[in-house]
Amino acid sequence: MRRTPLALAALTLAAAAALAAAGGPPAKASPPAAASPLAGAVVDLTHPFDADTVYWPTAPEGFVLETVFQGMTDKGYYYAANDFRAPEHGGTYLDAPIHFAEGKWTAEEIPVDHLIGPGVVIDVTAKAAANRDYLVGVGDFTAWEQAHGRIPDGAIVLLETGFGRFWPDRERYLGTAKRGAEAVPELHFPGLDPAAARWLVAERSIHAIGLDTASIDYGQSTLFESHRTLFAADVPALENVAGLDRLPPDGFTVVALPMKIRGGSGGPLRIVAILPAGAP
């Protein structure tokens, strides 16, 4: 039946009234929220780089930041830029396998998937508090496994000695505030027992290992056997890691990405832990 414009207008008004009485047109469904790639808290495990950053005592200098420009330009906008220089090894940093193993990975050759993986924390804080020269041994790893299960393949193992609380007090952190070659015999801080390094390489399939001291070998080491064992197996070390006391024993992911220096024996590192959703 043909309707006149007046009749159509009346129908339109009636439909509008009915929708108003029902609370209006149905709401358009919202698209589902995109899942966050970071489900839980992110813990920064990196010391900032500045004039107080701890480097090995024999390093000729530490971290240097020089201002190139800072202020208003003649065009009326603000601008800031700096130059920096630093040794490869210092602050929170990566030791690439080439550092102690000829022909092994340089900094840029380490596969990214070896720098991202399940994290575990071996806590030896009490033992290191009683002995500055404590060596984290095979027994510490097997005790951890008895409590938490086998260290997963591809894990990034973090050794918590408690020495991170001393940063950046060089005397408390390293055992001496001296600089130069005369400081080396006075270095006292915990590290990984070479026997444990051999056990990890032979019995477990970890991708990297880190700790909250200046070296994976303890301060009094002169042969750097843990470095040599790990690096011969292309297992890099992460040193001067911060904030390990904020992590659970396991159940988190580590992302440890160093500066990609071609041919580098190491480099500055930004390392974080991603905790699962709901973790405290």
Residue numbers of the domain that contains 248: 42-274
Domains contained in the chain, number: 1
pLDDT at 277: 83
Q: Is residue 90 part of a domain?
A: yes
CATH of residue 67? 3.50.30.50
Q: What is the pLDDT of residue 40?
A: 73
- What are the residues whose beta carbons fall under 8 Å from the beta carbon of 263, sequence distance 6 or more? 106, 107, 108
**For 173-204, how does the pLDDT look when each residue is reduced to its tens digit (9 = 90+)?**
999 999 999 999 999 999 999 999 999 999 99
Q: Is residue 33 part of a domain?
A: no
Between 23 and 244, the higher pLDDT residue: 244
Better pLDDT: 134 or 10 = 134
Q: Is the per-residue pLDDT at 24 higher than 50? A: no
Please report which confidence band the pLDDT of residue 22 belongs to, taking 50, 70 and 90 as the band edges.
very low
Residue 38 has pLDDT above 50, yes or no: yes
Q: Kindly report the pTM of this predicted structure.
A: 0.85
pLDDT at position 190 is 98
Judged against a pLDDT cut of 80, whether residue 15 lies above it is answered with: no
**Does any domain span residue 25?**
no
Q: Is residue 138, in this structure, part of any structural domain at all?
A: yes
Q: Does residue 16 lie within any of the structural domains?
A: no
Residue 9 covered by a domain: no
- Judge whether 19 lies within some domain: no
* Residue at 11 is within a domain: no
- Assign 136 a pLDDT band (cuts: 50, 70, 90): very high
Question: What average pLDDT is seen over the chain?
Answer: 90
What confidence score (pLDDT) does residue 33 get? 45
